[in-house]
Amino acid sequence: MRSIWKTIIRINALGLCLALLCLPAGASELFTSFSVGMISVKTTVLNPLLALERDFQSLHSLIYEGLVTLDDNYEPQPNVALRWTASNDCKTWTFTLRDDVYFSDGTQLTAYDVAATAQEILRLAKDDTAENKGVYAADRYVFTKAVVNDAQTVVFTSARPYYGFIYGMTFPILKADEVRTDYPVGSGPYKAVWFEPGNSLLLSLNEYWWQDEPNVTEINAIFSATNRELTSAFELNQVDAILTRSVTAAQYRGGVNSVNLDFRTRQLETLLLNTKSYELEDIRVRYAIRYAIDPDALANGAYYGMVSRTDTPFPRGTWMYYDASDADGQDYYSVNLAKAEQLLYEAGWEDSDGDNILDRVRNGKKENLSLRLWVYEEAENSVRVEVANQIKDMLARVKIAVRIDNISYGLAKERLNAGNFDLALAAFQMDAVPDPGFLLYGPNTGNYGRYRTEEMNGLIDALRKSTSQYEYQQNLYQIQAVFARDCPFICLYYRGGAVLTRKIFTNTRDVREPEVLKGIEKIGNQ
């Protein structure tokens, strides 16, 4: 094995057609090899359960497969699993596997491999001594065990017997005897034949793949350490495409020599509100802040449009999203400075001394409406600081003063855990399972704003008992309606990324993490 190794979005269908028309001559023709650049400085092994970098997962998705895949509508479809059935109470799920799925070493994928991978995911997630609990650690809330019925049938016991369970079945399946190895083989369309960490990864065809043979027979991933190196590789024609989440990619939009394919990450950007802070306990003040902030201006300004706007914890345009404003006629999310000013006045805030900062008397002392805004930054990315300053300016229009403090991620998490904040710009990596309970159930790990109502808790409980998609969807709708009404925090957008490419490699309508390169195996086979 070691001899093999060295040192061992989104674009819609219409947009894709337009992109094809805008490409330089020959760019839309079929091709057999494809080179892609991305940032990778941490990944030293290929085991997808131990993934450290989000962009690298786009390569994992070409090597490994799950029982279930999510289509362009974000709905589950059979993949390695031929079919599945759930008990009436959704406490057990039985998966029947395809009998024509083989790993790239020629061995058949069986229920024993599925069960072993599932148990390894649980072992990692529950190991208190493990530094890396695995990228699928949240699956411990999806299933508790997997048992082999026969070689083609595996039975899962669900941790939460509800429809959301099926979304947890997208984890990559490894060979039973390789789940803890650094370089396990997979059953996907490609196999790894060369890997030099920090330098390159070469993929070639998996000749045992159960679907049509891809026309793209070789994929060469070239790794960079910085965004500057990455874009330079593209400019110098060293790669056909690059994956980037840097806003500098926006400069290539509309170029004549390349196409920019937007993709959606799972990173939800929010403005957290501490509902236990005395200024923000009053829902009228929280409403006023929401009416004063213009997320579209933030998206198109600081991020140059490289985000997917959302007003709830779910992506717009999916079966999960619900716009409470459209449903009940209440305008929750539009920018409305006059309404914000009226709400603040009703809450007892006024500018009594004419200094352009609202104030009121509390415990016999005049206090200004001045809020602390914590913001932490990412490496090579000053966007959040810029967003924080824009929010400060937006709130100043309704005479709310903001004090910005740019701190480290570690300190930000410490202060959020302690409730030592008024406002905070914070991002959450959302799971494949559409369940917002960790953000809204009180108390829970991501509920930093200390929001808690029996109504919301009851809705989350009901969601986790929903056994059909329709019932699940209706509960998600109700959760978003209460979210709009109670304003526990403000959703801004899902961060976006871009694939800058000279070769159109996909017909996928919804390009999203972690399968950004999805579709390259089907080009020319439609």
Structural domain count, the chain:
3
Could you tell me which residues come within 8 angstroms of residue 81 by beta carbon, excluding any fewer than 6 positions away?
67, 68, 95, 96, 97, 98, 169
Question: Does residue 473 sit in helix, strand or coil?
Answer: helix
Question: 94 lies in a domain?
Answer: yes
Question: 248 lies in a domain?
Answer: no
**DSSP code at position 467:** -
Which of 187, 205, 224 is where one domain is finished?
187
Same-domain pairing of 196 and 183? no
pLDDT score for 442: 86
**DSSP code at position 170:** G
Residue 6's domain comprises 1-47+189-240+503-526
Same-domain pairing of 329 and 214? no
Exposure b/e, 5-27, CB count within 10 A at least 16 = b: beeebbbeeeebeebeeebeeeb
Same-domain pairing of 75 and 37? no
pLDDT score for 23: 46
- For residue 340, CA distances in Å to 280, 367, 482 come to 14, 19, 20
Could you tell me which residues come within 8 angstroms of residue 318 by beta carbon, excluding any fewer than 6 positions away?
73, 74
Question: Which residue in the block uniquely carries the two structure tokens 């390695």?
Answer: 80
Question: Which residue in the block uniquely carries the two structure tokens 């049509």?
Answer: 212
Same-domain pairing of 407 and 522? no
Give the residue ranges of DSSP H helices in 156-245. 227-235
Q: Are strands 365-368 and 359-362 parallel, antiparallel or unpaired?
A: antiparallel
- 134: buried, middle or exposed (CB in 10 Å: 19+, 13-18, 0-12)? buried
**DSSP code at position 109:** P
CATH number of the domain that 292 lies in? 3.10.105.10
The whole-model pTM stands at: 0.89
CATH number of the domain that 181 lies in? 3.90.76.10
Question: 258 lies in a domain?
Answer: no
Same-domain pairing of 329 and 399? yes
Question: 159 lies in a domain?
Answer: yes
Same-domain pairing of 89 and 131? yes
Same-domain pairing of 308 and 424? yes
Same-domain pairing of 336 and 482? yes
pLDDT score for 4: 37
Question: 245 lies in a domain?
Answer: no
Question: 55 lies in a domain?
Answer: no
Same-domain pairing of 327 and 442? yes
Beta bridge partners of 219: 34, 203
Same-domain pairing of 160 and 290? no
Same-domain pairing of 399 and 523? no
pLDDT score for 13: 38
Average pLDDT by stretches of 10, the chain with 526 residues: 34 39 49 95 96 95 97 94 95 97 98 98 92 92 97 97 96 98 98 97 97 94 94 93 85 72 94 96 97 96 91 94 77 94 97 96 94 83 88 98 93 92 95 95 90 97 95 97 97 94 90 93 75
Question: 257 lies in a domain?
Answer: no
**DSSP code at position 471:** H
CATH number of the domain that 215 lies in? 3.40.190
Residues in the chain: 526
Same-domain pairing of 336 and 447? yes
Let me know: does 402 contact 423? Beta carbons within 8 Å: yes
pLDDT score for 256: 63
Exposure b/e, 228-258, CB count within 10 A at least 16 = b: eebbebbeeeebbbbbbbbbbbeebeeeeeb
Question: 204 lies in a domain?
Answer: yes
